[in-house]
């Protein structure tokens, strides 16, 4: 349990802590819950204990621990899927963004990335 001065501070603490299980029991608990960004599972109000989620409500029981709810979710079907990014620019589209790519590659000290764009337009 963490004692805070007000709801705003409470939300900040909750998001920083990124708890596996978060119970919100305050006035307008649903509105507060809607503002939480980092939690494995949020239990809203006096009649939504963690054990309800663990045993009966049908929510996920395999949740991120140790603050990892700040960047990950509970186990779900997408855990077992793999995304593939497909990028397909034509010459005009690449030319339109080429200066940005070269600038970013220079800023990151990755000249090969910029060169990969420049060579496509060399002598054109």
Whether 76 has a pLDDT exceeding 80, the answer reads yes
pLDDT number for residue 61: 82
Is 21 an annotated catalytic residue? yes
Both 114 and 58 in one domain: the answer is no
Structure tokens at 65: 């621990």
Tell me what pLDDT residue 124 has: 67
Q: Are 25 and 45 in contact (CB under 8 A)?
A: yes
Domain that holds residue 14: 7-80
- Whether 30 maps to a domain, the answer reads yes
Q: Give the confidence band of 2 by pLDDT, cuts at 50, 70, 90.
A: confident
Catalytic status, residue 20: yes
- Does residue 118 contact residue 102 with C-beta atoms inside 8 Å? yes
- Contact criterion met (CB below 8 Å) for 63 and 40: yes
Give the per-residue pLDDT at 79: 87
| Residue 26 placed within a domain | yes
Is residue 1, in this structure, part of any structural domain at all? no
**Which long-range CB contacts under 8 A does 1-10 form with residues at least 24 apart?**
7/32
Domains in the chain: how many in total?
2
* 58 and 23 part of one domain: yes
Q: Could you say which of 20, 100, 108, 113 is catalytic?
A: 20
State whether 68 and 97 are in the same domain: no
Q: Are 74 and 63 in contact (CB under 8 A)?
A: yes
* pTM value > 0.75: no
CATH of residue 70: 3.40.50.1980
Q: Which residue has the higher pLDDT, 10 or 86?
A: 10
Catalytic residue among 21, 61, 108, 113: 21
Give per-residue pLDDT as tens, 24-33. Answer: 999 999 999 9
Whether the predicted pLDDT of 67 surpasses 90: yes
Q: Does residue 59 sit in the same domain as residue 98?
A: no
> Do 19 and 52 fall within a single domain?
yes
Asked whether residue 2 is domain-assigned, the answer is no
On whether residue 35 sits in a domain, the answer given is yes
Length of the chain: 124
What is the pLDDT of the chain when averaged over all its residues?
93
Name the DSSP class of 68. G
């Amino acid at each position: 349990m963490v004692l805070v001065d007000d709801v705003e501070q409470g939300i900040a603490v909750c998001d920083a802590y990124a708890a596996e299980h978060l119970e919100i029991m305050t006035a307008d608990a649903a509105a507060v819950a809607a503002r939480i960004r980092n939690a494995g599972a949020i239990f809203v109000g006096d009649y939504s204990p963690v054990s309800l989620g663990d045993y009966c409500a049908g929510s996920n029981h395999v949740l991120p621990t140790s603050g990892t709810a700040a960047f990950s979710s509970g186990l779900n079907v997408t855990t077992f899927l793999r995304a593939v990014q497909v990028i397909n620019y034509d010459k005009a589209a690449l030319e339109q963004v080429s200066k940005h790519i070269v600038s970013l590659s220079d800023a990151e000290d990755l000249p090969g990335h910029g060169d990969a764009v420049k060579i496509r337009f060399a002598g054109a």
